[in-house]
């Protein structure tokens, strides 16, 4: 007989109850400022990140890394897609991202000194676990699990670990797990930039922006009532398009997944520059077009993409920065968000899209926390 150690994980009793909220999803959306603060606790100094939290072996080997491969499923994969922009831009490392269900069944070519990152809320997703096990035979420098469950299979089997501290997520639609994954990934990008001696101003700007995130997200949560009003636009709609550019393209993809999953409205996300290559033909007064328009280097490009939609009578709902002038007009609704530092902007712009899907689902009268045909943790293939 083998004696296995018993591990106990404590969570506050209130994390299993809805409390004042109508649904777990809404509660979890509102828990994001605290979940982000918990995830960051003890991970950064004044102007640098504390790479020691990754463990001695990881800390010493970070500087050897030359490539990153990321595998994950669903929402967790969208977090990886955002991170690709950050890692290539800020740390200068080539990064590829793939859904775990595809990755596990193909022959991958692994360049020297590549880190495999597996992202999962539960740490028990069958495809992500299988991808990690497969990767361990492929000659990676190491594997890193980014996960919300400390004792999960993924965390136990990966070489290194970076835990998100979102607390238990009960709603099937992932919300606080996603934003804390993004926080962990921006922290990791900063750690990589730091060991690679990239611009110290960029590193300290990331640290400051991460510290300020809980307060910013709190501010955006106050838009709830306006977003509730917008949700009625979707009452009789069967389809929607979501647009974004740069790292906000995967945020549009995540917004689409949330909407499909809990309101059963069919939606597609496009990198806004792709619109004229086909999907523009779908645009008419019955097609709401949601776009994410932060004040970044791609804003002017996005604006001209939105004009193309407006000119075809599309109903535009745009989440934009309060400091930016956008053309008002018939069929165009703007919701203004506070100005944010570019790197954390994908995290902040996620929140209104979560609230939008939540309120659309309420309008549609669906079972928000337990959408049809879905399970919280997909432990079988
Ligand atoms: C998200 O809202 C979904 N429920 C789903 O895509 C989920 O993110 C996916 O199944 C992966 O789960 P994991 O993060 O626990 O691995």
pLDDT computed for residue 307 by the predictor: 81
353 Cβ inside 6 Å of ligand 1: no
pLDDT at 5 > cutoff 90: no
For the chain, state the CA radius of gyration: 20
74 Cβ inside 6 Å of ligand 1: yes
Contact 65, 113 (CB under 8 A): yes
Choose the residue to mutate in 117, 121, 163 for probing ligand 1, maximizing ligand atoms within 8 Å of C-beta: 121
pLDDT computed for residue 16 by the predictor: 76
Choose the residue to mutate in 172, 176, 378 for probing ligand 1, maximizing ligand atoms within 8 Å of C-beta: 378
DSSP-derived pairing of the beta strands 67-72 and 95-99: parallel
% of the chain surpassing 70 pLDDT = 96
Nearest-atom index, ligand 1, CA of 125: 16
Beta-carbon contacts of residue 312 (< 8 Å; ≥ 6 apart)? 280, 283, 284
Weakest mean pLDDT among 21-25, 30-34, 332-336: 332-336
pLDDT at 14 > cutoff 70: no
Nearest-atom index, ligand 1, CA of 173: 2
Choose the residue to mutate in 24, 99, 125, 171 for probing ligand 1, maximizing ligand atoms within 8 Å of C-beta: 125
Over the stretch 122-141, which tens digit does the pLDDT of each residue have?
A: 999 999 999 999 999 999 99
pTM over 0.85: yes
Ligand 1 centre to CA of 121 (Å) is 7
pLDDT at 328 > cutoff 80: no
Nearest-atom index, ligand 1, CA of 374: 4
pLDDT at 360 > cutoff 70: yes
pLDDT at 9 > cutoff 80: no
Ligand 1 centre to CA of 27 (Å) is 18
pLDDT computed for residue 315 by the predictor: 86
Q: How far apart are CA 61 and CA 51, in angstroms?
A: 11
Pick the residue whose CA is nearest to atom 10 on ligand 1.
74
354 Cβ inside 6 Å of ligand 1: no
Contact 14, 31 (CB under 8 A): no
Contact 116, 135 (CB under 8 A): yes
pLDDT at 13 > cutoff 70: no
pLDDT computed for residue 295 by the predictor: 83
171 Cβ inside 6 Å of ligand 1: no
Pick the residue whose CA is nearest to atom 4 on ligand 1.
173
Pick the residue whose CA is nearest to atom 9 on ligand 1.
74
Weakest mean pLDDT among 110-119, 181-190, 347-356, 370-379: 370-379
Ligand 1 centre to CA of 119 (Å) is 10
Q: What is the mean pLDDT of residues 228-252?
A: 93
Nearest-atom index, ligand 1, CA of 376: 4
76 Cβ inside 6 Å of ligand 1: yes
Mind listing the domains of the chain with CATH numbers? 18-214 (3.40.50.10490), 222-364 (3.40.50.10490)
pLDDT computed for residue 320 by the predictor: 92
Ligand 1 centre to CA of 243 (Å) is 22
Q: How far apart are CA 177 and CA 164, in angstroms?
A: 8
pLDDT computed for residue 309 by the predictor: 78
Ligand 1 centre to CA of 149 (Å) is 13
Q: What is the mean pLDDT of residues 305-321?
A: 85
pLDDT at 373 > cutoff 70: yes
Q: How far apart are CA 315 and CA 233, in angstroms?
A: 9
pLDDT at 76 > cutoff 90: yes
122 Cβ inside 6 Å of ligand 1: yes
Name the nearest CA neighbour of 345 among 205, 152, 169, 172.
205
pLDDT computed for residue 131 by the predictor: 98
Contact 86, 185 (CB under 8 A): yes
pLDDT computed for residue 1 by the predictor: 63
121 Cβ inside 6 Å of ligand 1: yes
pLDDT computed for residue 10 by the predictor: 61
Between helix 176-195 and helix 345-364 the angle, nearest 10°, is 170
pLDDT computed for residue 162 by the predictor: 97
Q: Which residue has the higher pLDDT, 172 or 75?
A: 75
Over the stretch 77-112, which tens digit does the pLDDT of each residue have?
A: 999 999 999 999 999 999 999 999 999 999 999 999
Q: Which residue has the higher pLDDT, 196 or 381?
A: 196
């Amino acid at each position: 007989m083998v004696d296995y150690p018993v591990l106990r994980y404590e969570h506050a009793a209130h994390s299993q109850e809805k409390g004042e909220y109508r649904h777990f999803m809404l509660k979890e959306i509102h828990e994001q400022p605290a979940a982000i603060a918990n995830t960051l606790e003890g991970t950064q100094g004044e102007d640098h990140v504390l790479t020691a939290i990754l463990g001695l072996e990881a800390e010493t080997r970070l500087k050897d890394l030359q490539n990153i491969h990321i595998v994950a499923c669903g929402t967790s994969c969208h977090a990886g897609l955002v991170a690709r922009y950050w890692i290539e831009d800020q740390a200068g490392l080539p990064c590829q991202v793939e859904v775990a269900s595809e990755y596990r069944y193909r022959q991958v070519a692994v360049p020297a000194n590549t880190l495999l990152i597996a992202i999962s809320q539960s740490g028990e997703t069958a495809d992500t676990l299988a991808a990690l096990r497969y990767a361990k035979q492929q000659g990676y420098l190491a594997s890193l699990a980014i996960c919300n469950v400390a004792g999960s299979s993924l965390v136990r089997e990966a070489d290194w670990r970076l835990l998100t501290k979102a607390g238990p997520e009960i709603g099937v639609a992932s919300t606080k797990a996603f934003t804390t994954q993004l926080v962990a990934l921006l922290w990791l990008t900063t750690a990589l930039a730091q060991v690679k001696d990239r611009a110290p101003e960029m590193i300290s700007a990331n640290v400051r922006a991460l510290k300020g995130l809980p307060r910013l997200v709190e501010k955006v949560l106050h838009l709830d009532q306006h977003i509730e009003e917008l949700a009625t636009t979707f009452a009789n709609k069967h389809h929607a398009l979501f647009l974004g550019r740069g790292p906000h393209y995967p945020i549009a993809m995540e917004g689409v997944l949330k909407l499909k999953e809990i309101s059963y409205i069919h939606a597609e996300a496009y990198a806004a520059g792709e619109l004229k290559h086909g999907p523009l033909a779908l645009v008419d007064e019955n097609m709401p077009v949601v776009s994410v328009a932060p004040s970044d280097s791609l804003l002017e490009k996005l604006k001209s993409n939105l004009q193309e939609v407006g000119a075809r009578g599309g109903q535009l709902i745009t989440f934009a920065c309060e400091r930016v002038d956008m053309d008002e007009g018939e069929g165009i609704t703007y919701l203004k968000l506070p100005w944010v530092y570019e790197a954390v902007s994908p995290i902040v712009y996620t929140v209104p899209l979560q609230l939008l899907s939540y309120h659309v689902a309420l309008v549609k009268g669906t079972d928000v926390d337990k959408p049809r045909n879905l399970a919280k943790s997909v432990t079988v293939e």
